[in-house]
Amino acid sequence: MKLATKIIHAGAEPDPSTGAIMTPIYQTSTYVQEAPGVNKGYEYARSQNPTRKALEDAYAIIENARYGLAFSSGVAATDSVIKLLNPGDEVIAASDMYGGSYRLFTKVWERYNIKFIFVDTTNPANVQAAVTTNTKLIWLETPTNPLMNITDIETIAVIAKSANALLCVDNTFASPYLQNPIDLGADIVMHSATKYLGGHSDVIQGCLMMNDAALREKLYFIQKSCGAVPGPMDCFLVLRGIKTLHVRMRQHCENGEKIAHWLRKHPKVAKVYWPGFEDSAGYAIAKKQMRGFGGMISFELKDESEKEVKRVLSATHLFSLAESLGGVESLINHPASMTHASIPKEERIKNGLSEGLIRLSVGIEDADDLIADLNKAIG
Ligand SMILES: *Cc1c(COP(=O)(O)O)cnc(C)c1O
């Protein structure tokens, strides 16, 4: 089945009690049992909920995985993966990644004696060099937030396998429409469903997809034992969002391409980060492992003064100044003071994230209107 068909029909079985085509929002905490232990497979809603089940089935299908699990946020999904580990275990993680993942790793989990080694994963030799007998997990993000760096998932999967470590890929930026890490050898795919999967800036949610049944059991155990589960209304919103993932992503990609090329020609713009430029470092790998280049773009102005950067950030009208990404509406963001403020400044600079970097989440409005808005703001 082709992707568009899978996306529409993923997890969408008519409701068994009424035939409702849309999965009902099962707003319940518990389920009545006929006798102790005699029930329809539903006991308590932290462990099972039919709305969540429909979404988890959809998650699996859209990532070509056997299993999906939903969590109350993207970071809750990430947190659950780290809970697979034991004190003394080591994680090799990308040095350029979402600030909240970095904060979770270094500020929460390092206290429990899990060691994180941050390397530039765009060069697989760095990952190989960081492997020790304690390496249990490799954590990748590609394209990265916010510098759009591309890592070769297939190559890192080979390294992970030979190290006997799990490979988890944060696939939030690409969405399953553009990239399927499980097909490339990853063990777990993680998404902030808050972004492209939900797609309408109205819900916080995360998910994990995997093929291995034993791994699914371990993660399900963590999901129900630690309890970071999404409510049924939130699951319904993501189920609804997923139905238009392919049409939204097509437009995000089309608009992203137009705006990336336009920005690059703008006399006041110094550098544009977008994986679709043929001369960008990650282009060949992006072309190989992605079906398009998406609507996330970062750029630097020639005038990097704080005053000018702040002026541009506040001067757009269609691009709203806000954290987050992946919604139908366009957003503009200042990673250094917003999404990535939790990464120490020296670390940010070392990884190439400049104080003046501006990040765009290009929405699905008319591209000409978006360009006119940016043109007026940049001046
Ligand atoms: C937003 C984001 C997260 C965290 O997800 P939440 O839903 O906000 O908890 C993780 N990774 C990436 C790449 C993100 O953009």
For the domain 245-378, what is the CATH code?
Answer: 3.90.1150.10
Compute, in degrees rounded to 10, the torsion defined by CA atoms 70, 294, 200, 59: -20
Question: Which protein residue has the closest C-alpha to ligand 1 atom 1?
Answer: 192
Residue environment code for 71-107, b if the CB has 16+ CB neighbours within 10 A, otherwise e? bbbbbbbbbbbbbbbeeebbbbbbbbbbbbbbebbbe
What is the tens place of the pLDDT at every residue in 287-307?
Answer: 999 999 999 999 999 999 999
DSSP H helical segments within 168-324, as ranges?
Answer: 175-178, 213-226, 232-242, 245-265, 283-289, 306-315
The model's pTM is 0.96
Query: What residues does each domain of the chain span?
Result: 3-242, 245-378
Give the distance (Å) from ligand 1 centre to CA of residue 99. 9
The reply to whether 6 belongs to the active site is no
Residue 172 CA: nearest ligand 1 atom is 13
What is the tens place of the pLDDT at every residue in 145-181?
Answer: 899 999 999 999 999 999 999 999 999 999 999 999 9
Q: Is the CB of 142 under 6 A from ligand 1?
A: no
CA distances to 83, 308, 325 from 194, rounded to whole Å, are: 22, 31, 8
What is 3-242's CATH topology? Aspartate Aminotransferase; domain 2 (3.40.640)
What is the tens place of the pLDDT at every residue in 192-233?
Answer: 999 999 999 999 999 999 999 999 999 999 999 999 999 999
**What's the N-to-C CA distance of the chain in angstroms?**
47
Tens-digit pLDDT string for the chain (379 aa): 888 898 888 878 899 889 999 999 999 999 999 999 899 999 999 999 999 999 999 999 999 999 999 999 999 999 999 999 999 999 999 998 899 999 999 999 999 999 999 999 999 999 999 999 999 999 999 999 899 999 999 999 999 999 999 999 999 999 999 999 999 999 999 999 999 999 999 999 999 999 999 999 999 999 999 999 999 999 999 999 999 999 999 999 999 999 999 999 999 999 999 999 999 999 999 999 999 999 999 999 999 999 999 999 999 999 999 999 999 999 999 999 998 888 889 988 888 889 999 999 999 999 999 999 999 999 9
Query: Catalytic pick from 59, 67, 98, 177?
Result: 98
Question: Which protein residue has the closest C-alpha to ligand 1 atom 7?
Answer: 74
Residue 101 CA: nearest ligand 1 atom is 10
The reply to whether 195 belongs to the active site is yes
CA separation for the pair 26, 7 (Å, rounded): 22
